[in-house]
Structure 1
């Protein structure tokens, strides 16, 4: 990593500036007990051998957004959450990245239990292309007590996906207390109106139990930052804004239930369940009235904007027993989770059906399901030579996964299919499953008052690709109460998802050819299919990772803590969706003989080795005054750089036909597509019933690559200021008003070179880390008891 002025300023700030409230506790305390990444009891954030951020209720409520991923993107320097538009299902299920890695290389837990992934595969030109990660926005804020983010590899502790880190969402619990809130918001451009309602309350469950219920609901209107369409003066809507480019219309509804009951003095029963639906209406590309000089369709003589109307349904049930016997803490649980994604097309046509075409189409569905059984045990053994106990944790897990594709109605895929999204065909439909078993062991000990260490090993066996073993070692040494060092080294893995192995569809993609956005029928082939084999595909295998980190923790005083953590993550055999390979006549004929009529093809492949290096700097300082209230000053910085280490040789069949499996754009999307850094400064002030929060965030530069290097565009850093103020009225009421992006800053506009802005109709990049909607005003009224 080359020294940079901002990096040097941040390093200085970690020692001389009052600072950031990430490694802080819930409810305003500067330290807290953590449960993520450890099996020991009473482990504090300051004692952890790996960096753990705690996001409390104040941070979760501190912006106008009601989307979890948006909130995390604003409070976590290492998390990136762009807002793609015009990217099909990725508009409805947007991926988030930790440490610049793939969205599916972070593990998401709820109360320590694995959350199911979305069924949607990001197959268009977005960040996270090729991934099918957990949909963070399906988890309602009203159900969350706090969030623990482990910024370290943890596959040896938790299994697949935990390469970039672990996000553990801790639910509210207990029978006492409750809260309700209604919120309103609107953008400066008088669009994107939002109304939200959420609440949480608890009840006694008999004499020895409790049940807590949380609900979330919101209506969010779309935003539109599209430019006027000046492509063809003969068009009836020439010069008007025809495209819709921005956030989609969304209507999420979610119910979360968390419960516990004491069976006897040694055993507790627990369960939590979630049911949520999110309806989304996203816009595809505007279809002009004329196709050349001919009318495109008599059904829409002015042209038309296809709408992709989806419904994403998440269902979760986790239940188990936990207790203690002969000194062993044990937890036996069952975990079921699924995501069902159904897609309809409206306001569009199938041109091959002419005037007889319907204008509404059912395009099909995707469904991803997981079911787990877990047994975890842990015990603290006294060791005479140690200053603390040796914690031994053992566990076993069985997991079954299933991925299903359901076909749409015939009109959605006949011929070229429905404009905007050609439906899933019967040949695409089917259900595939796998299972795996795993065992693990974890050891933690405080060897002396200054020195602690831990080690973990995990072995897994998958029915589809075989065995894998991961290991991790961590240590921490405290020189004194103010200074300590921590370090970790681990191996890890990510199993290829069923979606990456079996997702298949034929649809219309647009590619810029000689300055013209040209539609091309593109087949996405299952890697084990005959079509993929004809293009050189080989079976997928697990990604392999090696994580290393070294950090320093500082606590100069009771009110001031700081940490600096450097890390390196090497990943071999990264899974990527190949380039959209435009096929020559010979290959088109090969696929046509299989009944597949496409002009381009792609499939998933293990093809790339990368190295990610970075540094996290986190601080917190609290200033208590006698008359002016309390100030929490904050600062945080993340610098992240990914470099290419190796690309596999191109398949011989592709080389013989002048094609490249992994093109320049695919590689550079991984290496330069995420912001290189993020820097934030914040102040929270509270006095009696008043509170004020100000946060300024600098989102670093990023590059949107093309296969033609002259068309690459590097976007300048963007500074964003968020402001909010609140007042408590009496004992129960709280009013909040705020402005996100108070200075109304927009990212750079997309260059017109190569027509990457679609003749000015789509002027902003969907890779922009803070979106491109501008200033947002909001107000919230909350009641708590």
Structure 2
């Protein structure tokens, strides 16, 4: 599969050098196309059966035609966190999980990126079944602005057997959203085994105390059936790295103090997973998976100064100023029930999958300025809800084609119903400007919207010869709101010897605009060009959006190319190198914040929309993503000295713009730009181009030790004024831990970010009176050094 010369030229020399070093000398690696326990050989890991990206029942990691990372439960537990998304961010170089703050609901539901693309361009599965997305839309200045992805942190680590991450386009296999790849969460199964675990942690700065308690167990149902549960209680206190407030020195009684919050919010979550399987007559099996999560979060808006309180007649309530607090509750429910069996040589699986996410927002410690000192200080700001119901029928069988081995034919059909709803807040939360910090959802924003789609797919995969395997997949879908979409994928793998194999894929894909992107509407207080303004987010088909030049949304379309090399010169050492290119047309994103001139403000005011800025979703951008993943694993038995596992993983990722649609004439006439330099930067250079993770783990008797080093590349934040652009430098982080295991007991303790590394500080021009000390795009947050200890008992 030859690559364009322009693609080859885009791969930096340091990537080529790293690939060569990884393949010629035993190095180290962290996640891998295999990720595994500290015992056993790399060869054993390569023979692990995977279920993501294939319909075959016996495909191993080594045989996969696309790169698949497999993270075991032990890998996840060895990190210094109990949040799934945070653990994945520490282990996977291709995954970015920043920790935004001062971003309203995005503080509570943080998005994760795969390969530098939008968070909603990664499909999430649980045991191969599509997971529903959150109701929250990331509308503020976060990475993934405009997306409404799956909330990974609703799934407790105690329920997980392993994570399979397919780093390849897979829309032809799984449908919409699988442009960047697929994260498949595989749950623990069977009646045997259980565990109880507890974890404590805190930052070196003395804040952010957290604790987690979890349990998992299985029980027999009848002779061959089983049921398992996992429970988790997780609590984290806030961290704060805000700078001192230097605004309005002459009038502020709290001048020079830390008035704001910038960091992790206060959060308390309870989560449960229940899964079961019950054999029926013959080969028939009934199964079910239920998930439940309840999370309360308290995050902050910007500090309102005394001068602001006086000017808005609420100084009687807040004589020194005030800090609005957003108190949110997220309730997430999922249920899958199905039956599978064998009939006339076919394996079949019929399932019903329902999921919903509800997000309620209250605003406290605030006021509606129009009510003056008589204003309430707490408001019900409304509710967001998202639902998904999926009906699946999957069939597969082995075919004898006279080739090296039987081929697997799979066919299936899917019907999906989605619903998105906004409930208005109480009148005082939105009237006449509404609650300061987060005005409530207005009746004009409220409403319920639904759609449905039907899909059919077919795939064929198998061995042409003992050395050459291939697969093909085709999927077609019909959405009642935007029409048809068809995706295709071709893959192949050729093994020159047991030590060398080449693999590659070519595929097309799509992502349907979510209902949230089509219908989400709100008015909120945002920081735009250094000032707090009321900004409206308008549905594309609303009169307000039409007045700003909006057009109906259409589906994103993608084309994926990948080429990979697998090397295993020794049984205990293997390396993979995968290069890829992803072109996306009609990419869906939220427009720039359009600071409205007087004429447009008056035009919107005539519609009852009182804002100083507006934005809406658009398909105005075509992008290209090129990159390379290098993964190498070496395991060594040192005899009496114990056993070691050494791992190295590296991702280089470059996003570029291929095309920007012409600016709407109405905006040009008012000196406004739909896709500005800030929006382009967020899609291209706002996340690190490079990430490297290296670790070494050693076990001797009951003792173990682990050392992990991560390097996060530089990233760029642009402002409307180019003079205020800032490049944030690369950073190394070092994590260390030690453990002891005896019988059923295991204890560990560690330090994340041992050197207390912080990202570069925000320059004064962007710090808003000194408050914004650190940038929320930092890929490793800005909490500094953290300590933790874990204890567990398993049986």
TM-score norm. by structure 1 comes to 0.98
Q: CA deviation at 1:769?
A: 0.3
Query: Given the alignment, which residue of 165, 174, 192 partners 1:176?
Result: 192
Query: Given the alignment, which residue of 98, 101, 112 partners 2:114?
Result: 98
The reply to whether residue 322 of structure 1 matches residue 340 of structure 2 is yes
Q: Write out aligned runs for 1:123-138 (5 A).
A: 123-138=139-154
Q: Write out aligned runs for 1:282-431 (5 A).
A: 282-291=299-308, 294=311, 296-384=314-402, 386-431=403-448
Paired position in structure 2 for 1:622: 635
Distance change in 2, residues 1:26/1:698 (3 Å): closer
In structure 2, C-alpha distance between the alignment counterparts of 1:137 and 1:629, rounded to whole Å? 35
Query: Given the alignment, which residue of 255, 258, 264 partners 1:241?
Result: 258
In structure 2, C-alpha distance between the alignment counterparts of 1:520 and 1:241, rounded to whole Å? 22
Q: CA deviation at 1:677?
A: 0.6
SS at the partner of 2:280? strand
Paired position in structure 2 for 1:652: 665
Paired position in structure 1 for 2:84: 68
The reply to whether residue 144 of structure 1 matches residue 177 of structure 2 is no
Q: Write out aligned runs for 1:635-714 (5 A).
A: 635-714=648-727
Paired position in structure 2 for 1:30: 45
Q: CA deviation at 1:41?
A: 2.1
Q: CA deviation at 1:106?
A: 0.2
The reply to whether residue 746 of structure 1 matches residue 758 of structure 2 is yes
Retained in 2: the 8 A contact 1:10–1:637?
no
In structure 2, C-alpha distance between the alignment counterparts of 1:213 and 1:161, rounded to whole Å? 29
Q: Write out aligned runs for 1:608-619 (5 A).
A: 608-619=621-632
Q: Write out aligned runs for 1:366-765 (5 A).
A: 366-384=384-402, 386-512=403-529, 517-729=530-742, 731-753=743-765, 756-765=766-775
1:238-294 superposed Cα distances (whole Å, 9 cap, x missing partner): 211111110001001001001000102311100000111011001111111123975
In structure 2, C-alpha distance between the alignment counterparts of 1:508 and 1:7, rounded to whole Å? 47
Q: CA deviation at 1:296?
A: 4.9
- More displaced 10-residue stretch of structure 1: 105-114 or 39-48: 39-48
Retained in 1: the 8 A contact 2:127–2:186?
yes
Paired position in structure 1 for 2:28: 19
In structure 1, C-alpha distance between the alignment counterparts of 2:517 and 2:637, rounded to whole Å? 53
Q: CA deviation at 1:232?
A: 2.6
1:72-124 superposed Cα distances (whole Å, 9 cap, x missing partner): 00100100000000000000000000000000000000000000000000000
SS at the partner of 1:94? coil
Distance change in 2, residues 1:149/1:264 (3 Å): same
In structure 2, C-alpha distance between the alignment counterparts of 1:725 and 1:146, rounded to whole Å? 22
1:575-627 superposed Cα distances (whole Å, 9 cap, x missing partner): 01011111122222222222222222111010000000000000111101210
Q: CA deviation at 1:199?
A: 1.1
Number of aligned residue pairs: give it.
777
In structure 1, C-alpha distance between the alignment counterparts of 2:674 and 2:718, rounded to whole Å? 17
Paired position in structure 2 for 1:194: 210
Retained in 2: the 8 A contact 1:632–1:683?
yes
Any gaps of 5 or more consecutive residues in structure 2? 1-9
1:709-757 superposed Cα distances (whole Å, 9 cap, x missing partner): 221111110100011111013x11111100010111001001112xx11
The runs of at least 4 consecutive aligned structure 1 residues that moved more than 3 Å come to 4-7, 25-29, 292-296
TM-score norm. by structure 2 comes to 0.96
SS at the partner of 1:640? strand
Retained in 1: the 8 A contact 2:36–2:75?
no
Retained in 2: the 8 A contact 1:23–1:620?
no
The reply to whether residue 117 of structure 1 matches residue 117 of structure 2 is no
Retained in 2: the 8 A contact 1:155–1:470?
yes
Q: CA deviation at 1:208?
A: 2.3
Q: CA deviation at 1:2?
A: 4.7
After superposition, the CA RMSD in angstroms is 1.2
Any gaps of 5 or more consecutive residues in structure 1? none
In structure 1, C-alpha distance between the alignment counterparts of 2:229 and 2:185, rounded to whole Å? 16
The reply to whether residue 225 of structure 1 matches residue 225 of structure 2 is no
In structure 2, C-alpha distance between the alignment counterparts of 1:560 and 1:9, rounded to whole Å? 16
Retained in 2: the 8 A contact 1:288–1:296?
no
Retained in 2: the 8 A contact 1:211–1:257?
yes
In structure 1, C-alpha distance between the alignment counterparts of 2:524 and 2:357, rounded to whole Å? 23
Retained in 2: the 8 A contact 1:285–1:420?
yes
In structure 2, C-alpha distance between the alignment counterparts of 1:598 and 1:243, rounded to whole Å? 25
Q: CA deviation at 1:171?
A: 0.3
Paired position in structure 1 for 2:272: 255
1:424-455 superposed Cα distances (whole Å, 9 cap, x missing partner): 01111100000000000001010101000000
Distance change in 2, residues 1:293/1:169 (3 Å): closer
- More displaced 10-residue stretch of structure 1: 650-659 or 731-740: 650-659
In structure 1, C-alpha distance between the alignment counterparts of 2:315 and 2:480, rounded to whole Å? 50
